[in-house]
């Protein structure tokens, strides 16, 4: 009895087992250190994650560059289409102008042909008058 409290007898083996268990529970629960194999596995996982991140970053940059390139090509194509549209419009205007000039030239040709016929008719009438006058003089 210790200070009036009964103490049970504990064997030395039981006391040692309790001490080891207490030490293990403190060490394992509060501070579990990874084994070298776990540390190496974690390091490999971190390295793989960094490689994956770098690859994803490269892929994003490549996609952005491709998008910028396609935007430039689209802008170039739009400018070319605008130029082609202006060229087609100019060609249409030239065609319409040529049609108008052709129509005017045809009118002038018809007018000239009509005047030529009238001139031939007037010349024939003048010849007849001249011949009649010649006959009247003779």
The percent helix, strand, coil of the chain (3-state, each to 5) is 90, 0, 10
Write out the H or E segment, with its range, that includes residue 2. Answer: none
Whether 42 and 34 have beta carbons less than 8 Å apart is answered as yes
Residue 3 backbone phi and psi in degrees, to 5: 50, 40
| pLDDT by 10s per residue, the chain, length 138 | 556 665 565 566 666 666 666 555 555 445 678 888 889 999 999 999 999 999 999 999 999 999 999 999 999 999 999 999 999 999 999 999 999 999 999 999 999 999 999 999 999 999 999 999 988 887
CA 81 to chain centre: 16
CA distance linking residue 10 with residue 16, whole number of Å? 10
CA distance linking residue 67 with residue 63, whole number of Å? 6
Residue ranges per structural domain of the chain: 38-137
Q: Which residue has the tokens 């000239």?
A: 112
CB atoms within 10 A of CB 13: 8
pTM of the model as a whole: 0.47
Q: Is the dihedral of CA 57, 63, 66, 68 positive or negative?
A: negative
Contacts of 34 (CB under 8 A, 6+ apart): 42
């Amino acid at each position: 009895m210790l200070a009036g409290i009964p103490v049970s007898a504990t064997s030395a083996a039981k006391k040692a087992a309790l001490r080891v268990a207490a030490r293990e529970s403190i060490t394992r629960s509060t501070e579990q250190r990874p084994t070298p194999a776990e540390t190496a596995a974690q390091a490999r996982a971190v390295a793989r994650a960094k490689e994956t991140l770098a690859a994803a970053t490269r892929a994003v940059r490549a996609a952005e560059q491709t998008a910028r390139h396609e935007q430039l090509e689209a802008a170039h194509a739009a400018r070319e289409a605008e130029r082609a549209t202006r060229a087609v419009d100019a060609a249409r205007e030239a065609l319409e102008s040529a049609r108008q000039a052709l129509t005017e030239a045809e009118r002038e040709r018809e007018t000239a042909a009509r005047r030529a016929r009238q001139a031939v008719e007037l010349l024939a009438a003048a010849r007849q008058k001249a011949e009649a006058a010649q006959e009247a003089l003779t």
